[in-house]
Amino acid sequence: MRGSQIQTSIVADEALLDGLQRAAFSYFLEAVNPVNGLIADTSRDGSPCSIGVVGFALSVYPVAVERGWMTRADAVERTLAALRFFHDSEQGEGPETTGYKGFYYHFLDMHSGARVWRSELSMVDTALLVAGMLTAGGYFRANTPREAQLRGLVESLYLRIDWRWSQSESKTIRMGWKPESGFLKYAWDGYSEAIVLYVLALGSPSHPIEGGEKAYRAWTATYQWENLYGYDFLYAGPLFIHQFSHAWIDFRGIRDRFMRDKRCDYFENSRRATEVQREYARRNPHSFAGYDENCWGLTACDGPSQPLPERADPRRRLFGYAARGVPYGPDDGSLAGWAALASLPFAPEAVLCAARSMRQRYPEMLPADQYASSFNASLAGADRAAWVAAGHFGLDQGIVLVMIENHRSELIWRLMRRCPHVRAGLQRAGFRGGWL
Protein backbone atom coordinates (compact mmCIF):
# COMPACT_ATOMS: atom_id res chain seq x y z
CA MET A 1 0.00 0.00 0.00
CA ARG A 2 1.23 3.45 -0.82
CA GLY A 3 1.44 6.16 1.82
CA SER A 4 -1.71 7.94 0.72
CA GLN A 5 -3.69 4.68 0.75
CA ILE A 6 -2.53 3.89 4.26
CA GLN A 7 -3.55 7.39 5.30
CA THR A 8 -6.99 6.93 3.74
CA SER A 9 -7.42 3.61 5.46
CA ILE A 10 -6.47 5.02 8.86
CA VAL A 11 -8.94 7.87 8.40
CA ALA A 12 -11.64 5.38 7.41
CA ASP A 13 -10.92 3.24 10.46
CA GLU A 14 -11.07 6.27 12.72
CA ALA A 15 -14.38 7.31 11.22
CA LEU A 16 -15.81 3.83 11.62
CA LEU A 17 -14.67 3.56 15.23
CA ASP A 18 -15.84 7.04 16.08
CA GLY A 19 -19.28 6.31 14.66
CA LEU A 20 -19.64 3.03 16.53
CA GLN A 21 -18.37 4.56 19.75
CA ARG A 22 -20.75 7.46 19.54
CA ALA A 23 -23.69 5.18 18.76
CA ALA A 24 -22.82 3.06 21.78
CA PHE A 25 -22.70 6.20 23.89
CA SER A 26 -26.24 7.12 22.98
CA TYR A 27 -27.38 4.03 24.92
CA PHE A 28 -26.24 5.66 28.15
CA LEU A 29 -28.18 8.82 27.33
CA GLU A 30 -31.36 6.90 26.55
CA ALA A 31 -31.28 4.28 29.30
CA VAL A 32 -30.55 6.56 32.24
CA ASN A 33 -32.83 7.66 35.03
CA PRO A 34 -31.46 11.20 35.41
CA VAL A 35 -32.80 11.48 38.96
CA ASN A 36 -30.63 8.72 40.44
CA GLY A 37 -28.12 8.11 37.64
CA LEU A 38 -29.10 4.45 37.33
CA ILE A 39 -28.80 2.86 33.88
CA ALA A 40 -31.06 0.11 32.57
CA ASP A 41 -29.56 -3.32 31.97
CA THR A 42 -31.16 -3.44 28.51
CA SER A 43 -33.28 -1.24 26.28
CA ARG A 44 -36.19 -3.66 26.69
CA ASP A 45 -39.39 -2.52 28.39
CA GLY A 46 -39.31 -2.75 32.15
CA SER A 47 -35.62 -3.52 32.35
CA PRO A 48 -34.17 -2.95 35.79
CA CYS A 49 -30.83 -1.28 36.40
CA SER A 50 -27.71 -3.44 36.31
CA ILE A 51 -25.02 -2.01 38.57
CA GLY A 52 -22.24 -3.15 36.23
CA VAL A 53 -23.77 -1.03 33.47
CA VAL A 54 -23.69 1.97 35.81
CA GLY A 55 -19.97 1.26 36.25
CA PHE A 56 -19.54 1.50 32.50
CA ALA A 57 -21.63 4.68 32.36
CA LEU A 58 -19.38 6.34 34.92
CA SER A 59 -16.40 5.33 32.79
CA VAL A 60 -17.81 6.63 29.52
CA TYR A 61 -18.79 10.11 30.71
CA PRO A 62 -15.12 11.20 30.73
CA VAL A 63 -14.78 9.78 27.21
CA ALA A 64 -17.81 11.80 26.13
CA VAL A 65 -16.31 14.97 27.60
CA GLU A 66 -12.98 14.38 25.86
CA ARG A 67 -14.69 13.66 22.54
CA GLY A 68 -16.99 16.66 22.85
CA TRP A 69 -20.20 14.67 23.03
CA MET A 70 -21.11 16.07 26.43
CA THR A 71 -20.18 19.09 28.51
CA ARG A 72 -18.03 18.55 31.54
CA ALA A 73 -20.72 20.08 33.75
CA ASP A 74 -23.32 17.63 32.43
CA ALA A 75 -20.96 14.71 32.98
CA VAL A 76 -20.25 15.83 36.52
CA GLU A 77 -23.97 16.11 37.30
CA ARG A 78 -24.74 12.68 35.88
CA THR A 79 -21.89 11.16 37.83
CA LEU A 80 -22.90 12.93 41.02
CA ALA A 81 -26.50 11.74 40.65
CA ALA A 82 -25.35 8.12 40.61
CA LEU A 83 -22.80 8.53 43.40
CA ARG A 84 -25.30 10.29 45.63
CA PHE A 85 -27.85 7.60 45.00
CA PHE A 86 -25.47 4.82 46.02
CA HIS A 87 -24.25 6.82 48.98
CA ASP A 88 -27.73 7.53 50.32
CA SER A 89 -29.41 4.23 49.39
CA GLU A 90 -30.29 1.68 52.03
CA GLN A 91 -27.60 -0.79 53.05
CA GLY A 92 -28.73 -3.71 55.20
CA GLU A 93 -29.53 -7.39 55.53
CA GLY A 94 -33.14 -7.02 54.45
CA PRO A 95 -34.37 -8.47 51.14
CA GLU A 96 -35.26 -5.15 49.50
CA THR A 97 -32.37 -2.85 50.26
CA THR A 98 -29.95 -1.60 47.61
CA GLY A 99 -26.88 -3.20 49.09
CA TYR A 100 -25.13 -4.67 52.09
CA LYS A 101 -21.63 -4.34 53.50
CA GLY A 102 -20.88 -1.74 50.84
CA PHE A 103 -21.73 -4.16 48.00
CA TYR A 104 -24.81 -3.82 45.80
CA TYR A 105 -27.41 -6.13 44.37
CA HIS A 106 -26.93 -7.09 40.74
CA PHE A 107 -30.30 -5.68 39.62
CA LEU A 108 -32.05 -2.65 41.08
CA ASP A 109 -35.38 -0.99 40.45
CA MET A 110 -34.78 1.90 38.07
CA HIS A 111 -36.80 4.28 40.22
CA SER A 112 -36.65 3.19 43.84
CA GLY A 113 -33.19 1.63 43.53
CA ALA A 114 -34.28 -1.36 45.63
CA ARG A 115 -33.20 -4.92 44.84
CA VAL A 116 -35.31 -6.66 42.19
CA TRP A 117 -35.63 -10.18 40.74
CA ARG A 118 -34.39 -11.58 44.07
CA SER A 119 -30.97 -10.95 42.56
CA GLU A 120 -27.75 -11.65 44.38
CA LEU A 121 -25.48 -9.19 46.09
CA SER A 122 -22.88 -9.34 43.35
CA MET A 123 -19.18 -9.07 44.11
CA VAL A 124 -18.00 -8.78 40.51
CA ASP A 125 -20.71 -6.37 39.42
CA THR A 126 -19.94 -4.22 42.45
CA ALA A 127 -16.32 -4.28 41.27
CA LEU A 128 -17.35 -3.06 37.81
CA LEU A 129 -19.42 -0.33 39.40
CA VAL A 130 -16.59 0.76 41.67
CA ALA A 131 -14.08 0.64 38.82
CA GLY A 132 -16.35 3.13 37.05
CA MET A 133 -16.51 5.30 40.17
CA LEU A 134 -12.73 5.32 40.49
CA THR A 135 -12.42 6.20 36.81
CA ALA A 136 -14.69 9.19 37.36
CA GLY A 137 -12.76 10.13 40.50
CA GLY A 138 -9.54 10.03 38.50
CA TYR A 139 -10.90 12.15 35.68
CA PHE A 140 -12.78 14.89 37.52
CA ARG A 141 -9.75 16.37 39.29
CA ALA A 142 -10.70 20.03 38.95
CA ASN A 143 -10.57 22.20 42.00
CA THR A 144 -14.28 22.96 42.10
CA PRO A 145 -16.77 22.19 44.85
CA ARG A 146 -18.76 19.82 42.62
CA GLU A 147 -15.77 17.81 41.50
CA ALA A 148 -14.34 17.76 45.01
CA GLN A 149 -17.66 16.44 46.26
CA LEU A 150 -17.59 13.84 43.50
CA ARG A 151 -14.14 12.64 44.51
CA GLY A 152 -15.15 12.52 48.16
CA LEU A 153 -18.16 10.35 47.39
CA VAL A 154 -16.07 7.98 45.28
CA GLU A 155 -13.56 7.56 48.07
CA SER A 156 -16.14 6.97 50.77
CA LEU A 157 -18.13 4.49 48.64
CA TYR A 158 -14.96 2.52 47.89
CA LEU A 159 -13.70 2.58 51.45
CA ARG A 160 -16.94 1.30 52.94
CA ILE A 161 -16.95 -1.94 50.96
CA ASP A 162 -16.18 -4.82 53.32
CA TRP A 163 -14.20 -7.00 50.92
CA ARG A 164 -13.03 -9.22 53.76
CA TRP A 165 -16.61 -10.19 54.55
CA SER A 166 -17.01 -11.41 50.94
CA GLN A 167 -14.48 -14.18 51.56
CA SER A 168 -16.83 -15.74 54.10
CA GLU A 169 -14.81 -18.63 55.49
CA SER A 170 -12.80 -19.27 52.34
CA LYS A 171 -9.55 -17.91 50.95
CA THR A 172 -11.17 -16.70 47.77
CA ILE A 173 -13.97 -14.20 47.22
CA ARG A 174 -17.47 -15.63 46.98
CA MET A 175 -19.52 -14.90 43.88
CA GLY A 176 -22.53 -13.54 45.66
CA TRP A 177 -24.79 -13.46 48.66
CA LYS A 178 -28.53 -13.50 49.16
CA PRO A 179 -30.42 -12.41 52.26
CA GLU A 180 -32.60 -15.51 51.94
CA SER A 181 -29.85 -18.13 51.68
CA GLY A 182 -26.48 -16.56 52.46
CA PHE A 183 -23.40 -16.91 50.28
CA LEU A 184 -23.81 -18.61 46.90
CA LYS A 185 -22.15 -21.97 46.55
CA TYR A 186 -20.36 -20.88 43.44
CA ALA A 187 -16.90 -19.50 44.10
CA TRP A 188 -14.59 -17.98 41.52
CA ASP A 189 -13.01 -21.02 39.92
CA GLY A 190 -10.69 -20.80 36.95
CA TYR A 191 -9.65 -17.69 35.06
CA SER A 192 -12.47 -15.19 34.75
CA GLU A 193 -13.20 -11.50 34.53
CA ALA A 194 -12.54 -11.29 38.28
CA ILE A 195 -9.00 -9.85 38.22
CA VAL A 196 -10.41 -6.34 38.57
CA LEU A 197 -12.44 -7.61 41.54
CA TYR A 198 -9.33 -8.99 43.23
CA VAL A 199 -7.31 -5.85 42.49
CA LEU A 200 -9.97 -3.61 44.03
CA ALA A 201 -10.47 -5.99 46.97
CA LEU A 202 -6.72 -6.12 47.66
CA GLY A 203 -6.16 -2.40 47.17
CA SER A 204 -8.67 -1.27 49.78
CA PRO A 205 -7.01 0.69 52.59
CA SER A 206 -9.99 -0.02 54.89
CA HIS A 207 -11.23 -3.62 54.45
CA PRO A 208 -8.87 -5.50 52.11
CA ILE A 209 -9.39 -9.23 51.68
CA GLU A 210 -7.48 -11.38 54.10
CA GLY A 211 -4.39 -13.19 52.98
CA GLY A 212 -3.11 -10.62 50.47
CA GLU A 213 -1.21 -12.28 47.65
CA LYS A 214 -2.11 -15.69 49.11
CA ALA A 215 -5.80 -15.01 48.55
CA TYR A 216 -5.09 -13.93 45.01
CA ARG A 217 -2.97 -17.00 44.44
CA ALA A 218 -5.69 -19.23 45.85
CA TRP A 219 -7.80 -17.95 42.97
CA THR A 220 -5.06 -18.33 40.35
CA ALA A 221 -4.50 -21.91 41.60
CA THR A 222 -7.51 -22.86 39.49
CA TYR A 223 -6.00 -21.37 36.31
CA GLN A 224 -5.50 -23.64 33.31
CA TRP A 225 -2.57 -22.85 31.00
CA GLU A 226 -3.38 -24.61 27.77
CA ASN A 227 -2.02 -25.13 24.31
CA LEU A 228 -5.06 -25.01 22.05
CA TYR A 229 -5.05 -24.67 18.26
CA GLY A 230 -1.31 -23.96 18.52
CA TYR A 231 -1.62 -21.08 21.01
CA ASP A 232 -0.39 -21.20 24.60
CA PHE A 233 -2.83 -19.25 26.76
CA LEU A 234 -4.64 -18.94 30.03
CA TYR A 235 -7.82 -20.64 29.05
CA ALA A 236 -11.33 -19.30 29.38
CA GLY A 237 -14.05 -20.02 26.84
CA PRO A 238 -16.20 -16.89 26.60
CA LEU A 239 -14.51 -13.86 25.04
CA PHE A 240 -15.79 -11.29 27.58
CA ILE A 241 -13.65 -12.93 30.27
CA HIS A 242 -10.59 -11.85 28.30
CA GLN A 243 -11.90 -8.27 28.07
CA PHE A 244 -13.77 -6.97 31.09
CA SER A 245 -10.88 -6.39 33.51
CA HIS A 246 -8.94 -4.85 30.60
CA ALA A 247 -11.57 -2.13 30.26
CA TRP A 248 -9.96 -0.44 33.27
CA ILE A 249 -6.57 -2.00 33.82
CA ASP A 250 -3.71 -1.69 31.35
CA PHE A 251 -2.14 -5.12 31.61
CA ARG A 252 0.59 -4.46 29.05
CA GLY A 253 3.95 -5.38 30.54
CA ILE A 254 2.78 -5.95 34.10
CA ARG A 255 2.83 -9.52 35.36
CA ASP A 256 1.72 -11.44 38.38
CA ARG A 257 3.57 -14.55 39.45
CA PHE A 258 1.54 -16.78 37.16
CA MET A 259 2.28 -14.69 34.08
CA ARG A 260 5.95 -14.32 35.03
CA ASP A 261 6.19 -18.12 35.14
CA LYS A 262 4.50 -18.34 31.75
CA ARG A 263 6.56 -15.49 30.21
CA CYS A 264 3.35 -13.82 29.14
CA ASP A 265 1.04 -11.06 30.37
CA TYR A 266 -2.74 -10.75 30.49
CA PHE A 267 -2.81 -8.38 27.53
CA GLU A 268 -0.85 -10.75 25.33
CA ASN A 269 -3.04 -13.54 26.68
CA SER A 270 -6.15 -11.75 25.47
CA ARG A 271 -4.53 -11.36 22.05
CA ARG A 272 -4.03 -15.11 21.91
CA ALA A 273 -7.60 -15.69 23.09
CA THR A 274 -8.68 -13.58 20.12
CA GLU A 275 -6.66 -15.83 17.81
CA VAL A 276 -8.21 -18.92 19.41
CA GLN A 277 -11.68 -17.51 18.66
CA ARG A 278 -10.67 -17.00 15.03
CA GLU A 279 -9.30 -20.53 14.83
CA TYR A 280 -12.52 -21.94 16.25
CA ALA A 281 -14.65 -19.95 13.83
CA ARG A 282 -12.45 -21.09 10.94
CA ARG A 283 -12.97 -24.73 11.98
CA ASN A 284 -16.68 -24.10 12.64
CA PRO A 285 -17.27 -27.60 13.98
CA HIS A 286 -21.05 -27.30 13.92
CA SER A 287 -21.11 -25.84 10.39
CA PHE A 288 -23.00 -22.68 11.35
CA ALA A 289 -23.64 -20.01 8.74
CA GLY A 290 -21.24 -17.09 8.58
CA TYR A 291 -18.43 -18.41 10.78
CA ASP A 292 -14.91 -17.76 9.55
CA GLU A 293 -11.75 -16.02 10.72
CA ASN A 294 -13.43 -12.67 10.07
CA CYS A 295 -16.73 -13.57 11.68
CA TRP A 296 -16.57 -14.70 15.30
CA GLY A 297 -17.36 -13.57 18.85
CA LEU A 298 -18.56 -16.36 21.14
CA THR A 299 -19.29 -14.90 24.53
CA ALA A 300 -21.98 -14.38 27.14
CA CYS A 301 -24.86 -12.95 25.17
CA ASP A 302 -28.58 -13.21 24.55
CA GLY A 303 -29.27 -15.61 21.71
CA PRO A 304 -32.36 -17.26 20.30
CA SER A 305 -34.30 -19.64 22.51
CA GLN A 306 -37.02 -22.23 22.14
CA PRO A 307 -39.56 -22.20 20.68
CA LEU A 308 -38.11 -20.73 17.57
CA PRO A 309 -39.60 -19.62 14.28
CA GLU A 310 -40.66 -22.47 12.03
CA ARG A 311 -37.61 -21.98 9.85
CA ALA A 312 -35.39 -23.51 12.52
CA ASP A 313 -34.28 -27.12 12.38
CA PRO A 314 -36.25 -28.78 15.20
CA ARG A 315 -33.21 -30.79 16.27
CA ARG A 316 -31.20 -27.68 16.86
CA ARG A 317 -30.75 -26.69 20.47
CA LEU A 318 -30.82 -23.01 21.30
CA PHE A 319 -29.42 -21.56 24.45
CA GLY A 320 -31.07 -18.16 24.98
CA TYR A 321 -28.97 -16.08 27.33
CA ALA A 322 -25.82 -18.13 27.90
CA ALA A 323 -22.07 -17.81 28.31
CA ARG A 324 -21.10 -19.09 24.88
CA GLY A 325 -17.46 -19.95 24.47
CA VAL A 326 -14.78 -21.80 22.56
CA PRO A 327 -13.95 -24.55 22.00
CA TYR A 328 -16.66 -26.44 23.91
CA GLY A 329 -19.59 -24.10 23.41
CA PRO A 330 -22.34 -23.86 24.07
CA ASP A 331 -22.58 -22.85 20.44
CA ASP A 332 -25.88 -22.46 18.63
CA GLY A 333 -24.61 -20.25 15.83
CA SER A 334 -25.05 -16.99 17.74
CA LEU A 335 -22.19 -14.50 17.55
CA ALA A 336 -21.73 -11.18 19.34
CA GLY A 337 -20.36 -8.49 17.05
CA TRP A 338 -19.59 -6.29 20.03
CA ALA A 339 -17.42 -8.99 21.58
CA ALA A 340 -15.25 -9.19 18.49
CA LEU A 341 -14.78 -5.41 18.43
CA ALA A 342 -14.08 -5.22 22.16
CA SER A 343 -10.84 -7.16 21.48
CA LEU A 344 -9.62 -4.18 19.42
CA PRO A 345 -6.70 -3.16 21.65
CA PHE A 346 -5.30 -6.71 21.66
CA ALA A 347 -5.31 -7.44 17.93
CA PRO A 348 -6.23 -4.24 16.07
CA GLU A 349 -5.71 -5.50 12.52
CA ALA A 350 -7.58 -8.77 12.83
CA VAL A 351 -10.35 -7.18 14.87
CA LEU A 352 -10.90 -4.26 12.51
CA CYS A 353 -10.97 -6.64 9.62
CA ALA A 354 -13.59 -8.77 11.39
CA ALA A 355 -15.61 -5.76 12.51
CA ARG A 356 -15.79 -4.47 8.94
CA SER A 357 -16.57 -7.86 7.48
CA MET A 358 -19.32 -8.67 9.99
CA ARG A 359 -20.87 -5.23 9.61
CA GLN A 360 -20.87 -5.50 5.88
CA ARG A 361 -22.34 -9.00 5.78
CA TYR A 362 -24.83 -8.62 8.62
CA PRO A 363 -25.74 -4.93 8.92
CA GLU A 364 -28.90 -6.05 10.73
CA MET A 365 -26.81 -6.91 13.82
CA LEU A 366 -26.23 -3.16 14.29
CA PRO A 367 -29.68 -1.60 14.61
CA ALA A 368 -29.14 2.18 14.85
CA ASP A 369 -25.41 1.46 14.63
CA GLN A 370 -25.52 -0.07 18.13
CA TYR A 371 -24.49 -3.70 18.43
CA ALA A 372 -27.28 -6.12 19.27
CA SER A 373 -26.44 -8.70 21.93
CA SER A 374 -26.03 -11.35 19.23
CA PHE A 375 -27.01 -12.36 15.73
CA ASN A 376 -27.53 -15.79 14.26
CA ALA A 377 -27.05 -16.19 10.54
CA SER A 378 -28.01 -19.87 10.67
CA LEU A 379 -31.53 -18.74 11.55
CA ALA A 380 -31.85 -16.33 8.64
CA GLY A 381 -35.41 -15.58 7.63
CA ALA A 382 -37.01 -15.47 4.23
CA ASP A 383 -35.38 -12.07 3.66
CA ARG A 384 -32.03 -13.80 4.30
CA ALA A 385 -31.40 -11.44 7.18
CA ALA A 386 -29.86 -13.03 10.28
CA TRP A 387 -31.88 -13.50 13.45
CA VAL A 388 -30.98 -10.60 15.75
CA ALA A 389 -31.45 -10.33 19.51
CA ALA A 390 -34.04 -7.73 20.46
CA GLY A 391 -32.94 -4.39 21.86
CA HIS A 392 -29.56 -3.48 23.25
CA PHE A 393 -27.61 -4.45 26.37
CA GLY A 394 -25.78 -1.86 28.44
CA LEU A 395 -22.75 -4.03 29.18
CA ASP A 396 -22.21 -4.62 25.45
CA GLN A 397 -22.34 -0.91 24.66
CA GLY A 398 -20.07 -0.12 27.60
CA ILE A 399 -17.32 -2.60 26.81
CA VAL A 400 -17.27 -1.66 23.11
CA LEU A 401 -17.07 2.04 23.88
CA VAL A 402 -14.37 1.72 26.52
CA MET A 403 -12.20 -0.72 24.56
CA ILE A 404 -12.35 1.45 21.44
CA GLU A 405 -11.28 4.39 23.61
CA ASN A 406 -8.40 2.44 25.13
CA HIS A 407 -7.30 1.59 21.61
CA ARG A 408 -7.60 5.17 20.42
CA SER A 409 -6.34 7.22 23.36
CA GLU A 410 -5.77 4.88 26.33
CA LEU A 411 -7.87 7.33 28.36
CA ILE A 412 -9.38 4.87 30.85
CA TRP A 413 -6.11 2.98 31.24
CA ARG A 414 -4.25 6.25 31.92
CA LEU A 415 -6.78 7.32 34.55
CA MET A 416 -6.62 3.98 36.32
CA ARG A 417 -2.83 3.70 36.12
CA ARG A 418 -2.78 6.79 38.35
CA CYS A 419 -5.32 5.42 40.83
CA PRO A 420 -3.45 4.60 44.06
CA HIS A 421 -5.96 1.89 45.04
CA VAL A 422 -5.53 0.10 41.75
CA ARG A 423 -1.74 0.33 41.98
CA ALA A 424 -1.82 -0.96 45.55
CA GLY A 425 -4.18 -3.77 44.60
CA LEU A 426 -2.01 -4.84 41.68
CA GLN A 427 1.11 -4.75 43.80
CA ARG A 428 -0.51 -6.77 46.57
CA ALA A 429 -1.61 -9.33 43.99
CA GLY A 430 2.05 -9.68 43.07
CA PHE A 431 2.08 -7.66 39.83
CA ARG A 432 5.47 -6.21 38.91
CA GLY A 433 7.19 -4.50 36.01
CA GLY A 434 5.96 -2.27 33.21
CA TRP A 435 4.20 0.90 34.29
CA LEU A 436 4.05 -0.32 37.90
Partner 1 sequence: MRNHHNHDSTRPGERELLESVHPTGRRNPQPAPCYSLVVIGGGTAGLVTAHAAAALGAKVALIERNRLGGDCLNVGCVPSKAIIRTSHLYAGMRHAEQYGGQIPADIRVDFAAVMARMRAIRARIGRADSVQRLEAAGVDVFFGQARFTSSDTLTVDGLKLRFKKAVIATGSRPDTPSIPGLVEAGFLTNENVFDLTELPRRLLVIGGGPLGCELAQAFCRFGAQTIIAQSWPLFLPREERDAAQLLADAFARDGIEVRLNTTAVNVRVENGQKLVDLVSEDYKSTVAVDAILTGTGRVPNVEGLDLQAAGVDYDSEEGIRVDDFLRTSNRRIYAAGDVCLEHKFTHTADASARIAVRNALFPGRQRLSALTIPWCTYTDPAIAHVGLYVRQANHRDIPVKTFTIPMHDVDRAIADSEEAGFVKIHVRERSDRILGATIVARRAGDMINEITLAMVAGVGLRTLARVIHAYPTQADAIKQAADAYNRTRLTPLLRSLLRRWLQR
Q: Is 180 in the site for partner 1 (CB under 8 A)?
A: yes
> Does 285 interact with partner 1 (rule: CB under 8 A)?
yes
3-state secondary structure 199-217: HHHHHCCCCCCCCCHHHHH
* Rounded-to-integer distance, Cα 205 and Cα 244, Å: 24
Residue 293 interacts with partner 1 (CB under 8 A): yes or no = no
365 touches 386 (CB < 8 A): yes
Q: Does 118 bind partner 1 (CB under 8 A)?
A: yes
Any contact of residue 190 with partner 1 (CB under 8 A)?
Answer: yes
Total residues at the site for partner 1 (CB under 8 A)?
A: 33
Contact 377, 289 (CB under 8 A): yes
Smallest distance from partner 1 to CB 175, Å: 10
Nearer to partner 1, 77 or 232 (CB): 232
Nearest distance, CB of residue 209 and partner 1, angstroms: 19
Which of the residues 247 through 266 are near partner 1 (CB under 8 A)?
261-262
Neighbours of 314 (CB within 10 A): 8
184 versus 353: smaller Cβ distance to partner 1: 184
Compare residues 14 and 226 and give the one whose CB is closer to partner 1: 226
Q: Let me know: does 114 contact 100? Beta carbons within 8 Å.
A: no
3-state helix, strand, coil split of the chain in percent (to 5) is 45, 10, 40
Euclidean distance between the first and the last CA atom of the chain, given in angstroms as a whole number: 38
- 5 is an interface residue for partner 1 by CB under 8 A: no
Q: How far is residue 241's CA from residue 350's CA, in Å, rounded to a whole number?
A: 19
Q: Which is nearer to partner 1, 283 or 423 (CB)?
A: 283
Q: 240 to each of 55, 223, 236, 343, how far by Cα in Å?
A: 16, 17, 9, 9
For residues 389 and 377, the answer to whether their CB atoms sit within 8 Å is: no
- Residue 189 CB, shortest distance to partner 1, in Å, is 7
The residue from 107, 223, 296, 338 that contacts partner 1 (CB under 8 A) is 223
Distance (Å, whole) CA 174 – CA 165: 9
Among 25, 86, 216, 235, contact with partner 1 (rule: CB under 8 A): 235
320 touches partner 1 by CB under 8 A: no
Asked if 222 touches partner 1 (CB under 8 A), the answer is yes
Residue 391 carries which DSSP code?
Answer: S
Q: Which residues bind partner 1 (CB under 8 A)?
A: 118, 178, 180-181, 184-186, 189-190, 220-230, 232, 235, 237, 261-262, 283, 285, 315, 317, 327-330
